[in-house]
Amino acid sequence: MLSSAEILIAKHFWNTAFKNKAVFTLTIFIGLLLIYAAFSGWINFKNQNEISSKYQEQARKDWLSNPDKHPHRMAHFGHFAFRPKAPLSVFDFGMESFYGNTIFLEAHKQNSVNFSEASFSTGILRFGEISIAMVLQILLPLLIFFLGFSGIATERENGTLKILLSQGISWKQLIVGKSLGIIGVVMTLFIPIILTTIFLWWLLQDMSISLDETIRLLLLILVYFIYLVIFCVIAILISAISKTSKTALTSLIGIWLMLTIVLPRGSQALGAYLYVAPSKVTFNAAIENDILKEGDSHNPDDPHYKSLKDSLLRTYKVDSVNKLPFNYSGFVMAEGEKISATIYSKHLDRLLAIYERQNSFSKAMAFLDPFMAIKNLSMALSNTDFASYIDFQQQAEQYRYKMAQEMNALQIKYISNKKPPVDQPYKIDKKHWAEIQEFEYKSSGVETVFSNEIISIIAFIFWIGLLLFFIRLLSKTLKAI
């Protein structure tokens, strides 16, 4: 329970906060940025999903409008997989602008996600986009530090600190009261923008809200509230141990720079240095080499496929592939697709293991930097993190493999082994193209956030415990002078 003294201190801080013109100006500026971020997030969501929906329909129409043809040609005609933006991406753009949301799917080849916003934009995008999450993560802590640097340090300079303590106010009550005062001021920005986010989130789902998305939203609000409270307490504690307000302000600006700029960039660079990932060229070359070692399905003299052919001829007791009761070429293509997909998955798993070690290193830095914790949790809850990107790519690869194998199955079943006339190539009825179901991305549930971001969650708990410890410790050791 809060004491009357703590509530009184908090109210006094809130009433006097905006008398500082610099703080008032900064608050207005951040408020305008939040409005712009909400508007741009809404526009981005609407535009991207409209574009994705339009071209997904066009891709499906193009697929179905193909005439009668050989199924292997259809496998190479290919298809597109689009990933719609998640509702909470209006709040946190995350990595979507850099990874893209479209994959071209074709037989024998695994493509990566393409058509990212960054690839079509100027280099300015690489400095970061203005999203609601970015403003809350970076700029609002700066406002908190400008609010809190003078919280106790100025009282010490003016000599009023002695008077407060002599009137029976304890250090704990002073720290808690001042912290609550800053939290109250910050809520004047936080609550309206959260209400705006809820409205946009509800509106962009066509008023059809799932339980999973609701839980994500509530957790997002909770972790941001905790994050901002952490910075409020840090500001007051630094002010409490500083001899002058100037020293407190300098220290807090240094802490802000370290937490929001230096440590995040440094940890990512160090993680990439410690766990080196192969380049795209090296990755693709390694896959090609392994496929060639396993067998080249386009080479009739390849040992693997020659052995496979001999085995089939013995099994069906024929002396030529033309006498097999199914299309031999389709069988070979199916075998080659299976081999190449298995090898690709093996190499991708190795690459993802390297990325996981890099990300785990960055996540561990959350115990030194709460900014890292909120950044990871925010993207995960908004479905705009690296794990969501990989999940989309894996679902698209499963769809691609199934599509290619269904085309191979049609070839095996309907195409003759005998060589067709030059002017009459083999083909099957176009009605079979409709048998391939449309790609539909299914996002993972909120439970994956707890498994993927357990380090970030524990880091938040650690910061809460650490600050409570320092409040108790400093309450016993701080002096008025």
pLDDT digits (tens, 9 = 90+) for 382-423: 999 989 988 998 999 999 999 999 999 999 988 888 777 766
The pTM of the full predicted model, rounded to 2 decimals, is 0.89
According to the model, what pLDDT value does residue 180 have?
A: 93
323-335 confidence digits (pLDDT tens): 888 888 888 888 8
Looking at per-residue pLDDT, the higher value among 223 and 128 belongs to 223
Q: Supply 6's token pair.
A: 């703590």
The burial of 139, by beta-carbon neighbours within 10 Å (0-12 exposed, 13-18 middle, 19 or more buried), is given as: buried
Mean pLDDT of the chain: 87
Task: Show the DSSP H helices in 4-121 as ranges.
Answer: 4-17, 21-64, 71-77, 96-99
Please state which of the ranges 57-66, 186-195, 286-295, 366-375 shows the lowest mean pLDDT. 286-295
Alpha carbons 150 and 242: distance in angstroms, whole number: 10
107 three-state secondary structure? coil
What are the Cα distances from residue 58, in Å, to 12, 54, 61, 436, 480?
61, 6, 5, 15, 72
Output the CA torsion 89→394→102→353 (10° steps): 70
440-468 confidence digits (pLDDT tens): 888 888 999 988 999 999 999 999 999 99
> Length of the chain, please?
481
What are the Cα distances from residue 302, in Å, to 198, 271, 336?
60, 42, 12
Which of 114, 72, 106 is closest to 407 using CA atoms? 72
Going by C-beta distance under 8 Å and a sequence separation of 6 or more, which residues neighbour residue 98? Answer: 116, 117, 118
Going by C-beta distance under 8 Å and a sequence separation of 6 or more, which residues neighbour residue 452? Answer: 380, 385, 387
Alpha carbons 278 and 284: distance in angstroms, whole number: 10
The tally of CA atoms less than 13 A away on the side-chain side of residue 64 is 11
Mean pLDDT of 93-110: 83
Q: Read out DSSP for 129-157?
A: ---HHHIIIIIHHHHHHHHHTTTTHHHHH
Q: What is the DSSP letter of 41?
A: H
| Phi and psi angles of residue 102, each rounded to the nearest 5 degrees, phi first | -135, 140
**C-alpha torsion sign, points 291, 297, 299, 302:** positive
Across-strand partners of 109? Answer: 106
**Helix (H) / strand (E) containing 235:** helix 211-241
Decide if pLDDT at 480 tops 90.
no
Neighbour count for residue 137 (Cβ, 10 Å): 21
